[in-house]
Each structure stands twice: as structure tokens, then as C-alpha cells.
Amino acid sequence: MCSGKSVASALVFGQVDCQRLDTEDDLFNRVARDLCVDMRYHWHPDRSFLERRTRDQLVAIAVDCGYAENTGHVASYKKAELVNSLIWYFETARAVATPTPARQKAREWRWAPNPRG
């Protein structure tokens, strides 16, 4: 029997080198559904994850996780600036003893890709 981590690694295999998130009804997504594996709990906002997102996805993540609440102008950031800023934001959100409401959003954030986007 496979561990949850092994299953997650196998499921991620089909998406590692893609420039867009695969949200179609393909083999990897059917297997994930059949095994009740929610990949949102296996994706972490680290450099590797963030660099594989498009610039538009990074802007959406910045809004969704609370980073844009204090920065407001993330739409003008270049992709590398977004990646570095989000890495810093997620790391500091985890490190603070008493997070602000925006940083609490970052602590609880999970990737929920838009299947149409």
C-alpha cells in the first residue's frame, strides 16, 4: 500500500513540467479523485511551487492570501518580484507569534486553482 506522500508524489508527476495547471478530467485528476486525495494539502507556497505559476496566478495568490491587502499594487509587479515577495510573506506569516488577520489568511492559504483559468 502506498503512503499518502507517495500517492501525492505520483499525482504531481503529471504536472511538474507544465506551465499551466492541469484541471481537465485526465488520468492524474481521476486517480486523485478516486483516492480522495486533495492536492491542495500537498502544494506548498515555496519557491518551486510559486515559480511554476503564471504571473496572473501569482497576482491571484497575492490577493487570496492577504499579501495584496497591504501592498495594493501587486498587479504592477514582475513575476520574479511576485515570487520573492510571496515567499517572504508566507515565511513571515508562519514565523510571527500573533499574526494580523491578513497574515492569518496566509497561514491558512491553500491553492485552489480555477478550473476555467
54: confidence class by pLDDT, cuts 50, 70, 90: very high
Residue 85 has pLDDT above 90, yes or no: yes
Q: Which cell is 84 given? A: 520573492
> Could you state, in order of their start, the residue ranges of all structural domains in the chain?
1-43, 44-110
Q: For the whole model, what pTM was predicted?
A: 0.65
Taking a C-beta distance cutoff of 8 angstroms, is the pair 32, 9 a contact?
A: no
Q: Which cell is 93 given? A: 506569516
Taking a C-beta distance cutoff of 8 angstroms, is the pair 80, 56 a contact?
A: no
Rounded CA separation 33/44 (Å)? 20
As a whole number, the mean pLDDT across the chain is: 75
How confident is the model at residue 9, as a pLDDT?
Answer: 55
pLDDT tens string 4-47: 555 555 545 454 444 445 556 667 667 777 877 765 566 778 89
Q: Nearest to residue 63, comparing CAs of 14, 17, 29, 109?
A: 109
Percent of the chain with pLDDT over 90: 21
Q: How many residues does the chain have?
A: 117
Helix (H, G, I), strand (E, B), or coil: what is residue 80? helix
Rounded CA separation 101/34 (Å)? 35
Q: Nearest to residue 65, comparing CAs of 111, 20, 98, 116?
A: 111
